[in-house]
Structure 1
């Protein structure tokens, strides 16, 4: 009887020294480690992209709809004004980007040669010209209604004649002109027939 009375006490140190009993703590440690959130690399990339933005110009103007304005935007990004890239976008009232083109800083600067008094321009003069070109990119003089007049001649090329004729018959269609480089003046318009922005012509490239 005395032996049986002490038997439970003998089992206690055995249970405490059992390797299986100590391993029951391991899953809790593993789950704590897995609960740690991963690094948000996407958030860091967005911050970097924003820090590269040098200048942004915005203008709301009717384009894809004669009554509801679209958002015209030109955003220059890069290490500096003279070596960056300018993204030209048009976004409709519903938030859909309907046009996108990337221009270089050189595309914006090239026309400076017509204003230079000497053979060279200082860096400050070049940067000031790029800023002015951007500020004037969406000037009123660059928007035209109608997009095509009866005197405009079909240029051929990739634009089909049916789309051209349809746009030419629309007096409320709006065209937008912009200069790329020194002499490449381009005109674009929204085609209700094709439901997209089309390039009407490019001259003097």
Structure 2
């Protein structure tokens, strides 16, 4: 009788742990699909645009980080999708990312940090800044200097950062600085 009870408790414990893992996995997938959303002035100095980042995919090799900006008028003005594993590549030598679970944790952390305050540049270009070798479009840089519109920076790897801003002249989001390729 003791053995039967012990077996039943072990089975129930195992079943509960498997169900718990599935529930946690489902919770993470839902959270990733919802992503993170933030409202900030970007294409207008006063009206707020919607910044959203979502992690799509279940298997690590299939995960895609999708970043979009929707203007205050409802028009999508920026969309960038990149492999979540690209974030890992340049950190492998400095971080312990050997296990897939560690890699997924790292990507989850990157998702949370995507909209840190330091990534919102207000304004994109200050009056005292001058373009340098990492400035792909000097005319846009000067336009931003005059307009005072805000910028946003994000990275897709340890060594590659993009700085983007709204161009009134072009009526679209453009890169105004690209660093550390």
The TM-score normalised by the length of structure 1 is 0.65
2: CA distance between counterparts of 1:70 and 1:111? Answer: 31
2: CA distance between counterparts of 1:156 and 1:113? Answer: 26
Structure 2 residue aligned with 1:76: 55
Q: 1:174 to 1:53 in 2, by over 3 A?
A: same
1:165 offset after TM fit, Å? 1.5
1:162 offset after TM fit, Å? 3.1
Runs of 4+ in 1 over 6 A off after TM superposition: none
1:155 offset after TM fit, Å? 4.4
Q: 1:114 to 1:177 in 2, by over 3 A?
A: farther
Rg larger in 1 or in 2? Answer: 1
Q: 1:88 to 1:185 in 2, by over 3 A?
A: same
Structure 2 residue aligned with 1:7: none
| 2:135–2:177 contact (8 Å) kept in structure 1 | no
Structure 2 residue aligned with 1:23: none
Alignment RMSD? 2.4
Secondary structure in 1 aligned to 2:91?
Answer: helix
Runs of at least 5 residues in structure 1 that lack an aligned partner in the other structure? 1-50
1:108 offset after TM fit, Å? 2.8
Structure 2 residue aligned with 1:88: 67
Counterpart among 155, 166, 169 of residue 179 in structure 1 = 155
Mapping for residues 160-179 of structure 1, pairs under 5 Å: 161-171=138-148, 173-179=149-155
> Is residue 137 from structure 1 mapped to residue 89 from structure 2 by the alignment?
no
Mapping for residues 102-141 of structure 1, pairs under 5 Å: 102-113=81-92, 115-116=94-95, 120-141=97-118
1:124 offset after TM fit, Å? 1.8
> Is residue 59 from structure 1 mapped to residue 35 from structure 2 by the alignment?
no
Deviations 1:147-197 (A, max 9, x none): 1122231548763x43321211233x1010101122101100011222111
Secondary structure in 1 aligned to 2:73?
Answer: coil
1: CA distance between counterparts of 2:116 and 2:62? Answer: 24
